[in-house]
Amino acid sequence: MDSDKLAKLKELLLRSSAEPLLPTNPYESFRTKIGTGLVVGYTSGKIVANSPSAAEAVGDAIRQLLLGPKDYDILIGSDEAGKGEWLGPMTVAAVAFTPSQAVEAATKGIMDSKELSVPRILDLADHIRRSSSGYHVVVIGPRRFDGLLRDARDEGKNLNDILAWAHARAVDQVYRSLPEELARIKVVIDEFDRLKTEERLRRVLSLERIVLEQRPGAEEEMAVAAAGILARAEWERWVDQESSRLGLDLRSMTPKDAMSRGDIETFAKASYLGRRRNEGPTSPSV
């Protein structure tokens, strides 16, 4: 959480049964003892509790800190995975949370998927599927991705056009699953191309009925962080499934190894590898 919220969280813990301790390194914002457990708040915003009682105390403090009036009844967040990787698909997910579901997500440790291990991502993905108000994942396999990217370039477009379409589709599918009586719906997307995303969303949603926000670092919204986790979990599942089908460990494969195989388009974005072969190790344009 943000540094200002981290300080308030510390105050709430100390008002309960927490005993203050001195930080042990410059990366710790605070350290407290709760029963036989420890709670450490890091300057990065991460909070670690090492016992059930300590975790419960942190959860209670987070609920006090985050629960309050909101400007929405449901927040739909979307995020993607595999966008810049040559291996596997590109996946885009959307997740809907009520304010209370978002707070519970925070108590479970939902955060930016880039900060989580694969086992933790898979575990949290199961929790998100069970506890959210709705979710949808768009999976664009490597062969289809290459075709879409080729068509986009022929039309003078780029990867952002594909991303905008996928985000709009994921958000639309979640929106359609929500109860019609919900009046205040907010959509938050990690910004990559404001105009293209808004144009795509306008094709499927009445933007007059929702509040749309696009901003960098949107993973601070629990629904966006949860969407990133679902997108990454689906990417991991896809790669595991293909590895099993091919009898290979795809994660250990190098681009050179991939380029030597005749079935490359089934598991790799050949367009990315072609670019690397011709132009050197550059990332795809976003």
pLDDT tens-digit profile of 25-35? Answer: 999 999 999 88
Burial profile 142-181: b = 16 or more Cβ within 10 angstroms, e = fewer: bbebbebbeebeeeeebbbbbbbbbbbbbbbbbbeeeeee
The answer to whether position 252 is within a domain reads: no
The answer to whether position 210 is within a domain reads: yes
Q: Return the pLDDT at 279.
A: 38
Instruction: Please report, for the domain that includes residue 133, its CATH number.
Output: 3.30.420.10
| Of the residues 44, 66, 88, the one at which a domain ends | 66
Q: Are strands 37-42 and 28-34 parallel, antiparallel or unpaired?
A: antiparallel
Say yes or no: 44 and 118 in one domain.
no
Say yes or no: 109 and 93 in one domain.
yes
Say yes or no: 186 and 107 in one domain.
yes
Element of type H or E holding 153: helix 142-154
Say yes or no: 61 and 112 in one domain.
no
Say yes or no: 55 and 177 in one domain.
no
Say yes or no: 33 and 150 in one domain.
no
| Of the residues 237, 259, 280, the one at which a domain ends | 237
Q: How far apart, in Å, are the Cα atoms of 209 and each of 115, 187, 202, 205? A: 34, 11, 11, 8
Say yes or no: 141 and 26 in one domain.
no
Q: Return the pLDDT at 254.
A: 94
Say yes or no: 125 and 27 in one domain.
no
Single pTM value for the model:
0.83
Q: Count H helices and E strands in the chain, helices first.
A: 10, 9
Q: Return the pLDDT at 247.
A: 95
- Using DSSP, state whether 97 is helix, strand or coil: strand
Say yes or no: 87 and 221 in one domain.
yes
Which residues contact residue 6 at a Cβ distance below 8 angstroms, ignoring those fewer than 6 apart? Answer: 29, 30, 41, 45, 47
What is the domain extent for residue 48?
3-66
Nearest to 219 by CA among 58, 80, 22, 69: 80
Say yes or no: 85 and 197 in one domain.
yes
Contact status, residue 267 vs residue 246, Cβ threshold 8 Å: yes
Q: Return the pLDDT at 57.
A: 87
The answer to whether position 284 is within a domain reads: no
pLDDT tens-digit profile of 196-245? Answer: 999 999 988 887 778 899 988 888 899 999 999 999 999 999 999 999 99
Say yes or no: 136 and 176 in one domain.
yes
Cα separation, 244 vs 250, in Å, equals: 9
The answer to whether position 262 is within a domain reads: no
Give, as one character, the DSSP assignment of residue 261.
-
Instruction: Please report, for the domain that includes residue 15, its CATH number.
Output: 3.30.310.10
Intervals of the chain under pLDDT 70 = 275-286
- Using DSSP, state whether 282 is helix, strand or coil: coil
Say yes or no: 157 and 212 in one domain.
yes
Number of compact structural domains in the chain: 2
